[in-house]
Structure 1
Amino acid sequence: MTFLQNTPAQEEPIMSDPLMLQEAREFPRLALMQAAHNRDLLRELARRIQRFKPRFVATVARGSSDHAAQFVKYAFETQLGWPVVSVAPSVVSAYHQQLQWEGALVIAISQSGASPDVVEPVEQARKAGALTVAMVNSEDSPLAQAAEFVVPLRAGEEKAVAATKSFLASLTGALQLLQELALDATLNKAMGWLPEALQSTLELESLTKARAERFRFVEHLVVLGRGMHLAVAHETALKLKETSGIFAQAYSAAEFAHGPMRVIREGFPVLCFQGMDETRMLTSAACLALKERGADLSGFGCGLNGESLHDLRTMPTGHRLTDPLPAMVAAYFFAGHLALHRGLNPDAPPSLQKVTLTR
């Protein structure tokens, strides 16, 4: 059975250099600027958090920002030992339930800061005594006004419908706050090295474009990651849906073996993210099991063990928390160029708009 059968319908004119790709290329420079401009603010916020002594952390987000929140969960739990939960926005905005926010550090993440179902939980939490933080690209947004503290993402204007640099800025913003809270010398060194590692990923764009070409007729695809790379797996699957109309589904490499493995047949396409951390060998074993079942496997990341000839290896950064970012930049290039290979415009996905307002 082949999974490269049908040619997708033309939707929007092909662009020679989509905004999505241009904006992804901006991020190494933006990461430096973000760190410089937010340093004093984050030190003040870290002191406030330490005085507050949160019992737990709660994240509030939708879409790509919720994937960033998933990254925050792994980062805070592994570095600080603070449990992190994801709040379902509809519990507040649709079901109108009053939650027990006492002792919570609430981190809301959004590019626009405009969606009511992200704003309302933050308003409720602040009134109930929680410490509320908005990580947002629009500093005059309703979300920024609702929270006690605002951490500007400083990604600049993002015109493409598919978010790239704002998602990455959410990750680096969270890591910059974590630097102030964890006081980890290894993380500090990795954060200093990160812009160079990101810049090196830009040099992989032509190779990524070539890797994407063989997926031009794919209709279904699985994206795997684990631990620190689970969030980028989910974000990649979303971008493939948005820009190419591929039914891409993300799973934890561990959870995939608990049932979803059943869908794998000869030639089924799988993307797998793999870092250098404690999950490396576990993910590698999962990839080998997929190959044995006939999966068409391609890997992204710095911890690849050569399971596939189609792997795209990114530069290691020196820390498990920073390694996923170069892999995500490569994945954005993959998604953008794949859309072009399919004759689609990744900047103008049908039925989608830049800001989605939900309740």
Structure 2
Amino acid sequence: MTAADSVMLREAREAPQVIARQRRENREVVAALAHAIRERRPAYAVTVARGSSDHACTVLKYALETELRLPVACLGPSVLTLYGTRLDLRGALVIAVSQSGASPDVVENVRAARESGALTAALVNVEDSDLAQAAEFVLPLRCGEERAVAATKSYLASLYALLPVVATLTGDSALHTALEGLPTVLERTLALEEHASTLAERYRFAENLLVLARGLHYGVAQEAALKLKETSGIHAEAYSAAEFAHGPRRLLAEGLPLLGFAPADAAATATEAAYADLIAGHADLRSIGPAPDSTLVTPGTGHAVTDTIPSALAFYLFAAHLARHRGLNPDAPPGLSKVTRTR
């Protein structure tokens, strides 16, 4: 089987259709949730998720904070499920993200948050799941069945699902336009597959890899590090390009390669300067993103918060081909299953 035949890659290629389906079919719940947020005016937001879904929440945190000026914190699910502490979340917007909606710790936290008076919303693919039933509002991801252990289309759908709510609340015409045109931009991103494969080949012998980003793209870097572990067995870790300049930079002395995400938004200048400094110090760094000097330039969407989605899709093309360059099957990572239930 070639990389092109992998379930992971075939599902990633469905992203344009998934996003178009969300845009078409989620209009009513988007309007209802936006209305509830206007009426109840949450003072802050809290996210609840695990794995890839938690990485999507990192991107959503930056989107909510930059677009709505709404502070966002990540809730530790085990505070309730292991330590037995029920948090007072009155006045909060609680956002849970899960492909399966089956993880008991996420479900229990949403149920408790709703009982405490929080406004709860679930971004979930399985619409009759326990999580969907626990939340007040459900934004379906509309992915259809996702069979690959390494999630792709559900992560991309999670990045998108809440953005129409943000656009409705802000009235941002540029964001509305970017959301409307995103399926077309993702089709253009899929055309980069050969380039992504070529870039991946240079990492075929890597055992360790550091993934860097700033701002909105940081959650994409977290997701990239996870996927490199899952599909290629590479020990990869994500760092903020700002934080990397401190202690972690020491790792460059060991010759570790770098993969950076390069934005074209307000973080672009700082990110470019950080990467230029690393390259001047002889770091082996290649980049993915909408910045024009990226190694793999992704199509711009016209808005910072949507630019993350083509970047993530381009990385998935990269990751699937990297696994194949290493003689591995990205659909059968050892020791992993599709649904993980944690408490």
TM-score, normalization: structure 2? 0.98
| 1:9-51, Cα deviation, whole Å (9 max, x unpaired) | xxxx766510000000010111111101001211011101111
**Does 1:235 find its partner at 2:228?**
no
CA contact (8 A) 1:108 1:133 kept: yes
Cα separation, 1, equivalents of 2:205 and 2:334: 18
Q: How many residues align?
A: 343
**Which amino acid is 2:298 matched to?**
T
Distance 1:276 1:16, change over 3 A: closer
CA RMSD of aligned residues (A): 1.2
CA contact (8 A) 2:124 2:140 kept: yes
Cα separation, 2, equivalents of 1:15 and 1:167: 20
Match 1:289 to one of 263, 266, 277: 277
CA contact (8 A) 2:30 2:164 kept: yes
**Does 1:353 find its partner at 2:341?**
no
Match 1:314 to one of 277, 298, 304: 298
**Which amino acid is 1:325 matched to?**
I
Matches within 5 A, 1:191-340: 191-265=179-253, 267-305=255-293, 311-340=295-324
| 1:63-117, Cα deviation, whole Å (9 max, x unpaired) | 0000111111100000010101110001011111010111011010000010011
Distance 1:44 1:345, change over 3 A: same
CA contact (8 A) 1:266 1:294 kept: no
**Does 1:188 find its partner at 2:202?**
no
SS of the residue 2:37 aligns to: helix
| 1:276-320, Cα deviation, whole Å (9 max, x unpaired) | 1111010011111111222111110011436xxxx1001111111
1:64 is matched with which residue? 52
Q: CA deviation at 1:266?
A: 7.2
Cα separation, 2, equivalents of 1:230 and 1:100: 29
**Which amino acid is 2:220 matched to?**
V
Cα separation, 1, equivalents of 2:27 and 2:337: 33
SS of the residue 2:101 aligns to: coil
CA contact (8 A) 2:211 2:258 kept: yes
CA contact (8 A) 1:265 1:293 kept: no
SS of the residue 1:85 aligns to: strand
CA contact (8 A) 1:59 1:87 kept: yes
Q: CA deviation at 1:348?
A: 0.8
CA contact (8 A) 2:78 2:105 kept: yes
CA contact (8 A) 1:267 1:294 kept: no
2:41 is matched with which residue? 53
2:128 is matched with which residue? 140
Identity %: 55
Q: CA deviation at 1:335?
A: 0.6
CA contact (8 A) 1:264 1:294 kept: no
SS of the residue 2:5 aligns to: coil
Point out the structure with the larger helix share: 2
Cα separation, 2, equivalents of 1:14 and 1:194: 28
* Structure 1 residue runs of 4 or more that deviate by more than 4 Å after TM superposition: 13-16
SS of the residue 2:253 aligns to: coil
Matches within 5 A, 1:72-221: 72-221=60-209
Cα separation, 2, equivalents of 1:101 and 1:41: 23
Distance 1:130 1:154, change over 3 A: same
**Which amino acid is 1:350 matched to?**
P
Cα separation, 1, equivalents of 2:292 and 2:234: 25
SS of the residue 2:306 aligns to: coil
**Which amino acid is 1:339 matched to?**
A
CA contact (8 A) 1:105 1:132 kept: yes
User: 5+ unaligned residues in a row in structure 1: which ranges?
Assistant: 1-12
Distance 1:255 1:52, change over 3 A: same
Q: CA deviation at 1:267?
A: 4.6
Q: CA deviation at 1:265?
A: 3.0
| 1:222-256, Cα deviation, whole Å (9 max, x unpaired) | 00111010010110110000000000100111111
Cα separation, 2, equivalents of 1:287 and 1:269: 13
